Amino acid sequence: MSHQEENVLTAVGDAEIDPKEREQVIARRAKSRVRGLNHHAYYCTDGEKTRHFYEDILEMPMTIALRIPDEVFTGKQAPYCHFFFEMGDGSSIAFFDYPDFFDGEPPFTVPTVYHHHIAINVDSDEAIDYFRQKLESEGYPSTFVDHGAFHSLYLRDPNGMNLELCYSPPASDDFFLRAGKVAHAELKQWAATRA
């Protein structure tokens, strides 16, 4: 087990999990008015490169492309395109190709994935490896990290956006149940030590 895996797994302890706790998680999620990700929107520096990356490499179909003639908040004539790539649960990653705002350069530089990234669930370690190979053949470097409770492939899309392809193996169910038990105490302890 790597040092990082030990850090992540130790943080949630090894408390016994009552089977009723799994039912409580299902009930808690059912009560939430927030039903899941609709879309995550980001700027785009090249519409066709972005389409190729998400539709051809990551195999997410482009389901919406809206050509809008006027800026939505001011009404100023400033044409742009807003397009969406769908994931298996119906949620999307969306992009703005907005020439008046972005002249081919991102409006800020993101030095690491910790500053801003979107994590996309995949269904297996095989899927992570499949996409790693496909990305590599297209010239997109990536980094695999086994966090213990979940496995991640970190990369950047053609617009500089940080992505994480994330798989949670069945054994991670216990991790997430334990994590829920200690989340508030961990944050409180973090606030005390950070000060």
Q: Which residues contact 89 (CB under 8 A, 6 or more apart)?
A: 36, 37, 121
Q: How many Å from the N-terminal Cα to the C-terminal Cα in the chain?
A: 31
**pLDDT at 23 (0 to 100):** 92
- Residue 45: the pLDDT is 82
The domains of the chain are located at 37-106, 108-195
In this prediction, residue 113 carries a pLDDT of 58
CATH topology for 108-195? 2,3-Dihydroxybiphenyl 1,2-Dioxygenase; domain 1 (3.10.180)
**pLDDT for residue 27:** 93
Give yes or no on whether 37-106 and 108-195 have one common fold. yes
Parallel, antiparallel, or unpaired for β 92-97 and 117-121? Answer: unpaired
CATH architecture for residues 37-106:
Roll (3.10)
- pLDDT, one tens digit per residue, over 47-94 is 899 999 999 999 999 998 988 787 766 778 888 888 999 999 989 999
Counting as low any pLDDT under 50, the low residues of the chain are 110
